[in-house]
Structure 1
Amino acid sequence: MAVIREQDLDKGRSAFAQWRDAAEDMLNGTGTQASTAAFRLSLKPSLPRPVWAMAVRYSLHLLERKAPGPGVEVRVAPWGAIKILEGPASDPHNLTPPDVIELDPEVWLRLAAGITTWSEEKEAGRITAVGERDDLSDLLPLL
């Protein structure tokens, strides 16, 4: 099942842009504080829940198109999960692939928009990753 419906791609694109713009406004309004990792790692724009949901789904869609495959599952609960990258797929009895990455929506969107880096979020303990391919830094940011 697709993470976003074809007819919702424009809404998703708009929601992701809205999230990114709100995050950039927060960064621009804080002066030197914006350059600190602590501030960027806590960045969470105040937007309606449907905007967050569509932004997550659309950005996961972009990642899925950038790195298709069955080898790594990326989960951003509660709004989406995708499988990406080539490699061993799920075994037929356990539908979870050998590599799983779980992120909260704000962590995922910060990474997707390039506000924080994979290593910053990982060192802060905000990424749960199991498996050999537990680093998406080569694929991020998405835009």
Structure 2
Amino acid sequence: MVVRKKVDPAEVRAAVLAVADWLVDPSAPTPSRAELAAAVRGTARTLEQLAPGNSVEVRIPPFVAVQCIEGPRHTRGTPPNVVETTPRAWLELVTGRLSFDDAVADGTVDASGHRAALVAELLPLVPLR
């Protein structure tokens, strides 16, 4: 089991605020890879800490994949419950700018398995006003 240091909420919020202009206005300059990675990884690891477990894998390539939500654990191969999306869509979800259901409906989020939708109950993580 990988043991990560606790996520600092202030650092996560700062990382999200660093990319907020781009989330609000797609024509704004694209954040640097480091800024984007910090926001994506910080929010994903926040989710992992809020809902520890191994029944759902959340993938935001190319930056991070985390496991969360208590329940049956998978040990080999592709997990049965997966949420996968782009960095931008993930940040829109965690800031409340995009709903999970809308994202799944329009194909922005690929959610498979009956437990994948449980992630939606934990969102948004860092609401933008």
Q: Check whether TM > 0.5.
A: yes
Larger Rg: 1
Residues 113 and 89 from structure 1, CA distance in 2 versus in 1: closer, same or farther, beyond 3 angstroms? Answer: same
In the other structure, the counterpart of 2:95 is 113
Give the 4+ runs in structure 1 shifted more than 3 A: 5-13
Residues 120 and 7 from structure 1, CA distance in 2 versus in 1: closer, same or farther, beyond 3 angstroms? Answer: closer
Displacement after TM superposition at 1:120 (Å): 1.4
d(CA) in 1 for partners of 2:5, 2:73: 25
d(CA) in 1 for partners of 2:7, 2:93: 22
In the other structure, the counterpart of 1:134 is 116
Q: Which runs of 5+ in 1 are unaligned?
A: 27-42
d(CA) in 1 for partners of 2:98, 2:72: 29
Residue 14 in structure 1 maps to residue 14 in structure 2: yes
d(CA) in 2 for partners of 1:104, 1:59: 13
d(CA) in 2 for partners of 1:21, 1:6: 28
Find the residue that maps to 1:69 and give its secondary structure: coil
Displacement after TM superposition at 1:8 (Å): 8.4
In the other structure, the counterpart of 2:106 is 124
d(CA) in 2 for partners of 1:44, 1:139: 29
d(CA) in 1 for partners of 2:40, 2:97: 15
Q: Percent identity?
A: 34
Question: What TM-score, normalized to structure 1?
Answer: 0.74
In the other structure, the counterpart of 1:104 is 86
Find the residue that maps to 2:65 and give its secondary structure: strand
In the other structure, the counterpart of 1:34 is none
d(CA) in 2 for partners of 1:11, 1:85: 23
Aligned counterparts, 1:31-50, within 5 A = 43=26, 46-50=30-34
Counterpart contact for 1:70–1:97, Cα < 8 Å: no
Displacement after TM superposition at 1:12 (Å): 4.5
d(CA) in 2 for partners of 1:7, 1:13: 14
In the other structure, the counterpart of 2:56 is 72
